[in-house]
Structure 1
Amino acid sequence: MVSSTYGRIDDPAVELVDADPVGLVQRLKKEAGLDIWLCGGGNLAAQLLGEIDEMIIKSHPVVAGGGISAFAGAFRPTLFTPTARKEFGNGAQVTWFTRA
């Protein structure tokens, strides 16, 4: 778990990382195992943008207000190509993108 606000986590199965998430992801990518799944705020996503190989974006046909930016911080255009899309009866969509 990456967090700059948690002091500690009382679960031996959870590693708390409070600095250098890029280094963590680079280390994990070198290890054998499953994919790395990022669910979090725009600050973390922006820090890890250079390490993201695939994005799965869920969208809903609702305007709900300001919300949290998907990628916060400096403007860094990064090209991804849509590879699949699933649409649901309520107008929601899930789109898969891979780094171009």
Structure 2
Amino acid sequence: MRKLTYLVATSIDGFIAEAGGGDPTNTPGFFVNEGDHNAALLRDYPEMIPTVARPVFGLEDVPNKEFDTVLEGRRSYEVGLAAGLDDAYEHLRHVVFSTTMTEARGKVELVATDPVEKVRELKREAGQKLWLVGGATLANALRDEIDELVVKMHPVVAGAGMPMFGGEFRPERYHLARHEAFESGVLVLTYTRIES
């Protein structure tokens, strides 16, 4: 059975974007865009680079290493649309969850039904892992289905914003499976679900 990984960048205090959403990589001072952590992330997760930017990083012919499917909510998808990208991840199967959108562009698969049922269906299919790219509402809906968290924690305190999980207080423990610290101050923390 395939695994679902929530691979996401956060501040030290657990925020992934401004409260209204938007592209956190374009928010001044929010994430560290330069530094030694980038080479490691490209090495481990080359598929997380949007298709249009892959040639810039020399990734045109690099195969997907971990994931073959990307999942995101409407607001995350709209970040790409606002940047002029109908499908930011053409090199992956791209699934967008929304109950308000009536159509998606490109090869994007729009799902308006229960995200949990869809993810369970995807997990039963053959293939690589599923990548949950965002956002907080979808992450909360899929919380019980997330097998792995890869947290790219940046050395920034935001104070407020969109949390990693937008939901009720419900503590759950994860096992720290791997960690890397970089001179840039970024930590990449990989956690796996502790089965109860």
**How big is the alpha-carbon RMSD for the aligned residues of Structure 1 and Structure 2?**
1.3
Q: Which of 44, 47, 60 lines up with 2:138 in the alignment?
A: 44
Q: Give 3-state SS (helix, strand or coil) of 2:189's partner.
A: strand
Q: Percent identity?
A: 44
TM-score by length of 2: 0.48
User: Which ranges in structure 2 are unaligned for 5 or more consecutive residues?
Assistant: 1-95
> Could you list the runs of 4 or more consecutive aligned residues of structure 1 that deviate by over 3 angstroms after TM superposition?
none
TM-score by length of 1: 0.90
Larger relative contact order (CA 8 Å, sep ≥ 6): 2
Looking at structure 2, the residues matched to 28 and 75 of structure 1 have their Cα atoms a distance apart, in angstroms, of 27
Q: Which of 73, 76, 98 lines up with 1:3 in the alignment?
A: 98
1:95 equivalent in structure 2? 189
Q: Which has the larger helix fraction? A: 2
2:116 equivalent in structure 1? 22
1:84 equivalent in structure 2? 178
Q: Give 3-state SS (helix, strand or coil) of 2:122's partner.
A: helix
2:148 equivalent in structure 1? 54
Q: Give 3-state SS (helix, strand or coil) of 2:151's partner.
A: strand
Q: Give 3-state SS (helix, strand or coil) of 2:191's partner.
A: strand
Deviations 1:31-87 (A, max 9, x none): 101111001121111110110111100111112331211111211212110011111
Q: Which has the larger strand fraction? A: 2
Q: Which of 162, 165, 170 lines up with 1:71 in the alignment?
A: 165
Amino acid at match of 1:53: D
